[in-house]
């Protein structure tokens, strides 16, 4: 496991060279917020890193409910039952294994590894604008219907889950990147992903933290370029 620190944010990465999977520890005065829960084998790395920081994990927040973001969840909840679990109201259904769409949603199929055996139940269902310590929840649907991003109000760091990837190339969810097409293949709705990417750009994040790929400092230009590429692909589909 690799650890990369930027201020209050620690990025934990498994398999960084060929299939990077990230989760994050966000330092607060009184404890740590874990954002995403990576893979089943990630438990030890997460617990060891928290122990090294000498602070308890008090919250577990999920960007979305795909398998590579909830893998260690049940085991972590067993070891730290006092940690509260947060996920968007919408993706809480995915966390239960429910792939059905709602009437007001684009009727494109939900893709990717929706887990079917997660025992953990959310303690808090998130909506746009909710606060989780220093983080503000921002709805960024597209990869899944309930995908959320989390803005650290202290630093401008934005954890976006799979709304973007930065591995191989910075891309909006749904844009196929040669050498790492997996996030694109797991994307529910490209039009929504593109709208969410524009919403991310308008937040002017100082640091972009994704599910798959390295941290990106001053990411504005690369976000713009990724949006431009996604818009061109969208036009191709429409014409």
Q: Report the interface residues with Zn ion, using CB under 5 A.
A: 68, 162, 211
CB of 205 to Zn ion, least distance (A): 19
Hey, what's the torsion of the CAs at 96, 101, 103, 106, to 10 degrees? 140
> What is the number of other CB atoms lying within 10 angstroms of the CB of residue 108?
14
| Joined tokens for residue 172 | 């909006």
* CB nearer to Zn ion: pick between 134 and 144: 144
Nearer CB in complex with Zn ion: 27/68 = 68
Minimum CB separation from Zn ion for residue 68, in Å? 4
Least spacing, CB of residue 103 vs Zn ion, in Å: 27
For residues 25 and 186, which CB has a smaller minimum distance to Zn ion in the complex? 186
Position of minimal CB gap to Zn ion: 211
Q: How far is the CB of 31 from Zn ion (least distance, A)?
A: 25
Q: Are 87 and 161 in contact (CB under 8 A)?
A: no
DSSP string, 99-117: -PPPTTS--PPP-S---S-
133/183 with CB nearer Zn ion? 183
Q: Distance between CA 198 and CA 7 in Å, rounded?
A: 26
């Amino acid at each position: 496991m690799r650890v990369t620190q930027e201020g209050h944010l620690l990025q934990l990465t498994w398999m960084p060279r060929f299939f990077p999977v990230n989760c994050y520890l966000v330092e607060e005065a009184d404890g740590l917020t874990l954002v995403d829960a990576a893979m089943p084998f990630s438990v030890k790395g997460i617990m060891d890193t928290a122990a090294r920081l000498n602070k308890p994990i008090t919250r577990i927040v999920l960007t979305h409910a795909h398998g590579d973001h909830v893998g260690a969840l049940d085991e972590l909840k067993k070891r730290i039952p006092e940690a509260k679990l947060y996920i968007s109201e919408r993706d809480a259904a995915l966390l239960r294994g429910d792939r059905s769409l709602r009437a007001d949603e684009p009727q494109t199929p939900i893709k990717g590894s929706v887990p079917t055996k997660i025992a953990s139940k959310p303690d808090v269902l998130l909506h746009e604008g909710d606060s989780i310590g220093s983080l503000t929840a921002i709805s960024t649907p597209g990869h899944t219907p309930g995908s959320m991003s989390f803005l650290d109000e202290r630093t401008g760091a934005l954890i976006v889950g799979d709304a973007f990837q930065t591995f191989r190339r910075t891309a909006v969810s749904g844009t196929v990147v040669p050498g790492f097409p997996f996030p694109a293949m797991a994307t529910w709705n490209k039009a929504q992903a593109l709208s969410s990417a524009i919403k991310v750009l308008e937040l002017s994040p100082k640091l972009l933290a994704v599910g798959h790929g390295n941290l990106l400092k001053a990411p504005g230009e690369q976000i713009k370029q990724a949006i431009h590429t996604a818009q061109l692909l969208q036009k191709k589909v429409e014409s």
